[in-house]
Amino acid sequence: MTPTELHLSDRIKSLENELAKVLAEKEKAFEYSFIRGKARFAEAVLKRHKEHKVWLPSYLLHSNILAYLTAPVIYSGIIPFFLLDLFLTVYQGICFPVYGVPKARRADYIVFDRGNLKYLNLLERLNCVYCSYGNGVLAFGVEVAARTEQHWCPIKHAQRLRAPHSRYGHFFDYGDAQKYSQEIETVRNDFVDIKTLTK
């Protein structure tokens, strides 16, 4: 990385640390703590949450008619999400060890915790579980694809990407033929930051 890129990378890490502090403050504000990896609320907080729950019959009665019509289309996505999830697990399980690419940890992307919130009714919980799964699988897929791309084609695009993936900063600049030819083996195997995180 160039000095400018290193500086930006340091700034990003600093902002991530700042964000972690803000999130820790939210934990205090909303009165939950993590016990054995799960968010837990005090009994008094759970009682207040239940007071905000919209009970299922009332929720269904006041729902937009279009929600009933589009729900089958939305929920049919479970089939491609499940197939993608299965493919990604098998793909990285078979291919990544061959090339020395560290596997993405599925549990870092597919998280089911919103379904435990007591102010959600049964249907809202189901919706949250479904969205957690769909978005989690897609995020997991982006990370698996990013690690694949770093090994096979670690070159930045000429056009600016709206949302570059987590490995993009390790790639060669577009058009830098000399650096590519000299350092391709180093860059395609440079997963030290991931291996450090997983230790």
DSSP state of 75: H
Dihedral (CA of 29, 33, 37, 43) sign: negative
Helix (H) or strand (E) holding 66: helix 65-75
pLDDT at 157: 96
- How far are the Cα atoms of 77, 78, 123, 157, 168 from residue 72, in angstroms, in the given order? 9, 10, 14, 38, 36
Q: Which residues, 6 or more positions from 54, have their beta carbon under 8 angstroms from its beta carbon?
A: 121, 124
**Whole-model pTM over 0.85:** no
pLDDT at 196: 63
Give the type of residue at 125: R
pLDDT at 148: 98
What does the mean pLDDT of the chain come to? 89
Task: List the chain residues with pLDDT less than 70.
Answer: 1, 195-199
Delimit the domains of the chain by residue range: 54-197
Q: pLDDT tens digits, residue range 84-138? A: 999 999 999 999 999 999 999 999 999 999 888 889 999 999 999 999 999 999 9
